[in-house]
């Protein structure tokens, strides 16, 4: 049977020594409980801080270079730009990026994140310079908390990539069928509708025209459904378009050499436009 302090005091109210001992034990027990509560309360701010930090989502700040690389290469219409990322509250895992571009006629083009590069260091001499870095396929990277992360990001045309992949698969199937018969006829392949469509794709898929463009760069991080967005604008001149269209011939030649190689080497000296970027 369990007695309360009040029951014990009433039962032994005539035994003063015992009552004094009970009071001392009671006081020590009360002080111990108060100390335990105060100790727990001392940890409360830190515990609250941990909970808030765990529940708080990261915020990604995006900083864009003031110049972009606009081009047309064997991967279709592309845009490369230097981006810097600063993650607030906690580190962020950048899982995907996309670029939505609109021209003067409100035509919309989707470019997907294809690759990123980073520079380790740059050596400069009086008459030359060299940059050490790497470029790799877009998968993901970490933007650490309160640390500046700089990446050269490459975006490629979604339509060109998907259409080119579809036509290349058909051409490869045509070649495999010819291998099965034991005779690969180059003229038959070049005259096939699939190969002609592939060459026509190179001619018709360039999205760049003279005029102004608005762009929306959407960056997706793990744990966030909504992307972080950086909006900007740029313009292309008649000279820019002329240079970019001259790349079409080289793009077609590279595709042709991938199917019908010869001893002649190709120098992929692409011409680029470098428009100034303005934040919106």
The pTM score is 0.76
103-127: pLDDT as tens digits:
988 999 999 999 998 765 555 555 5
Per-residue model confidence (pLDDT) at position 126: 56
Which residues, 6+ apart, have CB-to-CB distance to 77 below 8 Å?
71, 109, 111, 156, 157, 160, 205, 206, 207, 208
Per-residue model confidence (pLDDT) at position 79: 96
Chain centroid to CA 72: how far? 22
- pLDDT at residue 215 tops 80: yes
Locate the DSSP E strands across the chain. Answer: 59-73, 76-88, 92-102, 108-124, 129-137, 141-143, 148-157, 211-221, 228-236, 278-279
Q: What are the tokens at 22?
A: 């009970």
The three-state secondary structure class of 20 is helix
């Amino acid at each position: 049977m369990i007695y309360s302090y009040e029951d014990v005091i009433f039962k032994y109210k005539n035994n003063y020594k015992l009552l004094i001992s009970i009071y001392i034990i009671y006081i020590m027990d009360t002080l111990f409980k108060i100390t335990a509560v105060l100790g727990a309360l001392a940890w409360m701010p830190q515990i609250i801080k941990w909970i808030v930090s765990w529940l708080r989502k990261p915020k990604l700040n995006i900083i864009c270079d003031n110049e972009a690389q606009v081009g047309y290469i064997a991967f279709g219409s592309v845009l490369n730009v230097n981006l810097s990322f600063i993650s607030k509250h906690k580190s962020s895992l950048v899982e995907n990026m996309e670029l939505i571009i609109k021209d003067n006629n409100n035509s919309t083009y989707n470019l997907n994140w294809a690759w990123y590069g980073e520079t380790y260091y740059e050596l400069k001499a009086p008459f030359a310079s060299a940059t050490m870095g790497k470029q790799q396929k877009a998968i993901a990277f970490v933007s650490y908390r309160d640390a500046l992360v700089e990446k050269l990001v490459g975006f490629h045309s979604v339509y060109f990539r998907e259409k080119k992949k579809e036509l290349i698969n058909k051409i490869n199937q045509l070649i495999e069928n010819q291998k099965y018969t034991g005779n690969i006829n180059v003229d038959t392949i070049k005259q096939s509708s699939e190969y002609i469509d592939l060459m026509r794709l190179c001619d018709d898929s360039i999205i760049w025209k003279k005029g102004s463009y608005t762009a929306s760069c959407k960056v997706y991080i793990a744990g966030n459904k909504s992307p972080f967005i950086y909006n900007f604008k740029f313009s292309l001149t008649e000279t820019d378009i002329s240079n970019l269209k001259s790349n079409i011939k080289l793009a077609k030649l590279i595709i042709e050499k991938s199917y019908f190689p010869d001893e002649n080497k190709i120098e992929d000296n692409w011409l680029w436009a470098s428009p100034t970027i303005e934040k919106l």
